[in-house]
Amino acid sequence: MRVDIRPFGKDPAGQPADLITLTNARGESVSLTNFGGHIVSLMVLGRAGSLGEVCLGQDSAEDYARRDIGYMGGTIGRYGNRIGGAAFTLNGEEYPLYANDGRNTLHGGKEGFNRKLWAYEVEESGVVMRYTSPHMEEGYPGELAVTVRFTFSEQAELRIDYRATTDRDTQINLTNHAYFNLGNSPDILGHTLWIDADQVIEVDGELIPTGAMLPVEGTPYDLRTPQPLGEVMQREDNAMFAAAKGFDIGYVLNGSGMRQIARLHDPDSGRVMTVSTDQPGVQCYSGQGFNCGGRAGHRYCAYAGIALETQQHPDTVHQPSFGSTLLKAGDVYQTATVYAFSAQ
């Protein structure tokens, strides 16, 4: 694996950030920046044997600090997705959080992990990024030491291993917010998507879970056989789907342990991406809110890319039936996700 490092501009505090690119023997590459642990670029082979970009990106750390980019490619923490009412109770104490999404908190609050400068080390075929979140940062208890290891393989698999420890009990839900577009079209409406889930998380008008899990049967959310996204997007028979103008939903994944949970395919380019994870959920967001500039003068508009954010279910802090996002002092948080690329 070849590793190249170059300057990538400055974070909002004026500290220099780097762009680290890992290139395999086939010439496929992943580029990452230690500002916010962003995936900046993923170049993989298509059917015709030519390299193509498969994720949305920006040109500099300054661009990744913009608020209009929809968390594009960022490492999300300390708590991905929404927490209703921007507060939770732990061990009898109430912890108010920053409300950055109406009355609720989203993706870590005001200055999430996607806006921090991470320390990093280069390894044989990867990059290890480290960030220590101080006790009470963004309102969360516990000094949290986080490691995110990005590994790229000769077969174009990008693996992300998350690890964290804390000195006080805390809540944690880490993910990555990359948006994928496997083809050359400005949107993903020509892609097909399969997600191995029988149920989704019901949400209210503020996208906060009601506590119910709904069967996907008969709804636009049913991706148990691969569905053409453009056709699904036309459907008007589901209030939640219509309100969100597409996918913005937590899937309750079937099975447990490390398993393949999703497959995105672009019939035009022949590119395929599979997603494997040990997590119970994936937030599927079809990028309907996009209207921003991107890499090399690109304009990203609605459905420019699709995010498949592996994670624990949203608002698990308030929904014990969803599982637990509690990390106890002394315990180790560990989870992994693999995005694998091929062509057919």
List, by residue number, the catalytic residues.
177, 309
Rounded Cα distance, 338 and 199, in Å: 22
Rounded Cα distance, 334 and 332, in Å: 6
Residue nearer to ligand GAL on the CB measure, 106 or 189: 106
Nearest approach, Cβ of 122 to ligand GAL (angstroms)? Answer: 29
Beta-bridged to residue 2, according to DSSP, are 23
How many Cα neighbours within 13 Å face the side chain of 341?
Answer: 31
Contacts of 286 (CB under 8 A, 6+ apart): 188, 229, 233, 246, 247, 248, 303, 306
Rounded Cα distance, 17 and 6, in Å: 9
Nearest approach, Cβ of 191 to ligand GAL (angstroms)? Answer: 18
Residue nearer to ligand GAL on the CB measure, 113 or 152: 113
Q: Contact at 8 Å (CB) between 196 and 275?
A: no
Residue nearer to ligand GAL on the CB measure, 2 or 245: 245
Q: Where are the alpha helices (DSSP H) in the chain?
A: 61-64, 229-233, 239-244
Nearest approach, Cβ of 15 to ligand GAL (angstroms)? Answer: 25
User: Which residue ranges make up the site for ligand GAL (CB under 6 A)?
Assistant: 70-71, 106, 207, 248, 283, 285, 289, 309
Nearest approach, Cβ of 195 to ligand GAL (angstroms)? Answer: 15
Residue nearer to ligand GAL on the CB measure, 22 or 306: 306
